[in-house]
Amino acid sequence: MRIPFLLAAVLLGSVTPAIADGWSGRTGVEYLHFWSDPIHEGQYSNYLSPFVEPEYNAEWDDGKQQFNFTLFARGDSRDDNHQHVDVRELEYLMVGSNYALRAGVSKVFWGVTEAEHLVDIVNQSDLVENPDGDTKLGQPMLNLTLINGPSTLNLFVLPYFRDRTYPSESGRPRTRLVVDDDLATYEASNGRHHVDFATRWSVSESGLDLGLSYFYGTGRDPRLLPQKIAPGQFVLAPHYELLQQVGLDTSYVDGAMLWKLEAVGREQLGAWYFAMSAGFEYTFSGVFGSSVDIGLLSEYLYDNRGLNATLIVPVPPVKAIGAPPNYFQNDLLFGLRVGFNDVQSTQILMGIIPDLDGQGLIYSLKAERRLGETWKLNLEFRGYVNIPVDDVLYSQRNDDYIRTTLAWYF
């Protein structure tokens, strides 16, 4: 609270009665339950962890200036890395007539598809929160937005790199060898202080949303290199390489049909590769005369590195070095979204991803429902079927889980 501009924000905010100013947030508990015995030493079958995510927002100068702060903290007595604190947002925002300037820690999302987010690269994944990587760490940035009619140009300077979070030895699910953050290395000589640059041009015009993006800096996906720390004892050391990424994300809506495409070209260590996900979501509104909406989703996921895209954790003694992991080289997503449109905003999203090159299959189900006016219940099932021994997910084959989250919003 010693931050001067926060104080200014509070004072100015009280002068101009701004809207939705002040503290809000959520707090609750998460119960993570695995119904098979753990494979790796040190793991448990259940984890109970409380969390709190307070948020402070202030707006002044007729909404032209904003201050936002979001903190996330989780406790976990069993997985030390799951117990963590992160500043999700600490940003000052200034909005002009055809520009906006954002400075501080913030979060940006790019993309349109559901199964994986190829184009989205600004924020690092907070992987201990969820193996799907959708939860993000706050990213320090300077962001200038320039608006010209229906098109927008966003420029980002990212002065500090955030390491991906990984479960500790007692965490679950995890890779067979534990990832040791302390052993992280960087291709950039100045390590985490390498200044990354990102830009995205986007346009929205009659049913079409299109974004073209470019990123140069330290890649968010590390290579995980086996490293001997004691005789017969190995861990994985993350190595973050410099990366150049050209991205395309686009969607087109035509009645009940929403077409989606994301594609990236990435250059790492002098070699380019290509990955894409493309698909659609078709929504049946008000099925059988009810108020329920059912959406059918399908996405095809491709990575031209093929199986090399997968990090294969070698059995020690080790020599092989995997590329940064990508679970999806030639896979298909089938999904079903059910929106009940009820007072409690009940929603279910189910998905299965069969690997077209093998027999492996990932499935997940996410459901949410408001309880009363201020509570929310989230359920998440995730499971792995028939994972082959050479798959990166083999080490998680027994890690089917149900995650129950009960949160109180204030």
**Residues of this chain that bind another protein (CB under 8 A):** 19-20, 24, 26, 57, 59, 66, 68, 93, 95, 97-98, 100, 107-109, 111-112, 134, 145, 147, 150, 152, 202, 204, 206-207, 209, 251, 253, 255-258, 281-283, 285-286, 289, 291, 293, 295, 341-345, 370, 373-374, 376, 407, 409-410
Closest to another protein by CB, 159 or 286: 286
Longest CA span, the chain: 67
Cα dihedral: 2, 4, 10, 13 (round 10): -170
Distance CA 321, CA 314 (A): 8
Distance CA 114, CA 362 (A): 14
Closest to another protein by CB, 189 or 206: 206
Closest to another protein by CB, 144 or 188: 144
**Given 3-state DSSP classes, what are the helix, strand and coil percentages for the chain, each rounded to the nearest 5?**
5, 55, 40
Closest to another protein by CB, 259 or 300: 259
| Shortest Å distance, C-beta 243 to another protein | 22
Phi, then psi, of 11 in degrees rounded to 5: -65, -50
Q: What strands, in cross-sheet order, belong to the sheet with 185-186?
A: 185-186, 233-240, 223-230
136 DSSP 8-state letter: B
- Report how far apart, in Å, the C-alpha atoms of 132 and of each of 23, 24, 30, 362 are: 29, 26, 16, 11
| Shortest Å distance, C-beta 83 to another protein | 21
| Shortest Å distance, C-beta 381 to another protein | 20
Closest to another protein by CB, 254 or 357: 254
| Shortest Å distance, C-beta 129 to another protein | 12
| Shortest Å distance, C-beta 269 to another protein | 31
Phi, then psi, of 14 in degrees rounded to 5: -80, -20
Distance CA 304, CA 278 (A): 14
| Shortest Å distance, C-beta 255 to another protein | 5
| Half-sphere CA count of 287, side-chain side, radius 13 A | 14
* Three-state secondary structure call for residue 169: coil
| Long-range contacts of residues 280-287, Cβ cutoff 8 Å, at least 24 apart | 281/114, 281/257, 281/335, 281/337, 282/256, 282/257, 282/258, 283/256, 283/258, 283/337, 284/256, 285/256
| Shortest Å distance, C-beta 342 to another protein | 5
Closest to another protein by CB, 100 or 307: 100
| Shortest Å distance, C-beta 323 to another protein | 27
Closest to another protein by CB, 77 or 98: 98
Closest to another protein by CB, 83 or 341: 341
Closest to another protein by CB, 52 or 253: 253
| Shortest Å distance, C-beta 373 to another protein | 5
49 contacts 129 by C-beta, under 8 angstroms: no
**Residue 66, number of CB atoms within 10 A of its CB:** 21
